[in-house]
Structure 1
């Protein structure tokens, strides 16, 4: 039996393969979470307004609205959860920018590692 509270986690990534990998890694950890996957920021924003998640994990490179713009949008609302950025890019300025922004709880590289998920899930 898991002693951690069930969490709602929203994952925003325009790559469906990342969705599958994330779902599989979380499943292997046997963590009790509700996962919600989105490929576009507008749909994710609409979901957040109606069903606020505990955790948001967003890719930086997205279509139409990047992860930085998405971050600004969710914090214009009343988002109280934790926000993590995920990137396949090795652009060092992204990491520095994330580290300098107190709204961002962590910055991780793709593909997400088990240790990163354990940190995010608070296990």
Structure 2
């Protein structure tokens, strides 16, 4: 796969351990994707404005803004890629809200599972 067609995936989570787990899960799949990790939403927004990824995966619980606020912000930037939410604490309200929001491509529990990555990556 050339660099021109490599999928760019942005992962937003303020927990570095989740970044490590995500990297390990992707490494197991042995696929060529460009992973970009951010711990804070403001830096992620700057990146998306300059170089939109194909996929954004965001934790719901973040420091300065939650995943729902982040979703509003990226759509304000014109982001039209796939957007997935992750949550370590499963509130039925979040899952219900994600299901009803057309901008959310999926909702997954942390830590992300290999089967979730298959779904996100269309494998």
Corresponding residue of 1:13:
13
Structure 1, unaligned runs of 5 or more: none
Matches of 2:84 and 2:109 in 1, distance apart?
A: 11
Residues 58-83 of structure 1 show CA distances to partners (whole Å, capped at 9, x for unaligned) of 00000010000000000011111000
Q: Structure 1: which 4+ aligned runs deviate by more than 3 Å?
A: none
SS in 2 for 1:8: strand
Matches of 2:114 and 2:6 in 1, distance apart?
A: 18
- Aligned ranges 1:62-101 → 2 under 5 Å: 62-101=62-101
Q: CA deviation at 1:51?
A: 0.9
TM-score by length of 1: 0.95
SS in 2 for 1:37: strand
Q: CA deviation at 1:118?
A: 0.5
SS in 2 for 1:102: coil
Matches of 2:6 and 2:47 in 1, distance apart?
A: 18
2:104 equivalent to 1:108: no
